[in-house]
Amino acid sequence: MFYRTIGNTGIQTSEVGLGTWAFASGAYGSVAETDAINTIKLALDSGITLFDTAPLYGNAERDGISEEILGKGLGKDRDKVLISTKFGRNSTQRATPNFHAQRAYESVDASLKRLNTDHIDVLFFHSPFSDEDIHNDVWEALDKIKEQGKIRLVGHSISKFEDTQHMARNWVTERKIDVIQVVYSLMNRESTQLIHDLGTQGIGIFARESLANGFLSGTITRNTQFESNNLNKRYSSEEIGERVDYIEALSFLLRNDVKTMPQAALRWVLDNPNVSLVLSGAKNPKELQDAIAASACAPFTKNEHQHTQKLHTKDFQAA
């Protein structure tokens, strides 16, 4: 495992992090707690030092199930790693946006309890969809929470990219955030310019959904039937076919040290010098192996990157 610095914060992280959404969301099928714990243990043993979670990763009855699992899985190793979590959206409130001071205080304290820790390394705004979602009092609250030692860095986890990237740019200019988390993959490159602009200003960049919701996992074909609660159920058979065709065209990226499409996809993200780390949302230890291997793969050549650009005629953005 190789390591990078989160922007200009001076804080080091493994260049691969473990995302825990799948542990509780059901978006990619159910995950047994034993599988989740074993995945966390493998991550620790493999040198992964950043773990990403959120209160939203729960269900209608209970917030932060993934936070609880992560706290249990890390145990005594918590102080050896970094934890990023979020605030502003809760599963018990159907993800209604609550980006105000009281929610920040309550959310951080609840997350600390579920994670069984005394501090959070990165606290992200969890996908505000517009400026109107943000209450002015939240900034003073975050400053106070930071002064209390409960959080170290503040970030913006970006969704609805075209509608909200300006918020990240403004917050960076105003020196309100240290990190962004954004979708970035071989299939979805809409954040490329933002990553460059903010990365060169010293902002940490966490890349997520870099396996394109499973399309870059190497397991989806034109005939794949998705369960009703799977995120990819939204795509038509024609759209699925377009994605599969594109992925098949990327097979030239496979070589002796890049043996699978997930390894190629994650290696491609890591080749961007402005990326601090790529998050892998593994459901079990086997799925995490490709992410671990990606760190050891040699970077792609300039010609290989240029060829992926030629093949990439459009962004396969999430609907």
CA 33 to chain centre: 20
The stretches of 26-157 forming alpha helices (DSSP H) are 33-45, 65-74, 101-115, 137-147
Decide which of 286 and 233 is more confident: 286
Which residues, in sequence order, are CB contacts of 141 under 8 Å at separation 6+? Answer: 100, 101, 102, 104, 105
Higher-confidence residue of 267 and 58: namely 267
Cα distance between residue 78 and residue 229, in whole Å: 32
Q: Are strands 3-5 and 12-14 parallel, antiparallel or unpaired?
A: antiparallel
d(CA 303, CA 157): 32
260-304 pLDDT, tens digit each: 999 999 999 999 999 999 999 888 899 899 999 999 999 999 999
Query: Residue range 156-171: average pLDDT?
Result: 97
SS3 236: coil
Radius of gyration of the chain (CA): 19
Please state, in angstroms and rounded to a whole number, the distance separating the CA atoms of residues 211 and 281: 9
Q: Give dist(CA 112, CA 107) in Å, integer.
A: 9
What pTM value is reported for the model?
A: 0.93
DSSP element (H, E) containing 148: none
Q: What is the rounded distance in angstroms from the CA atom of residue 281 to the CA atom of residue 31?
A: 12
From CA 50, how far away is CA 278, in angstroms rounded?
A: 10
- pLDDT (0 to 100) of residue 317: 59
Domains of the chain: 3-311 (3.20.20.100)
- With cut-offs at 50, 70 and 90, classify the pLDDT of residue 221: confident
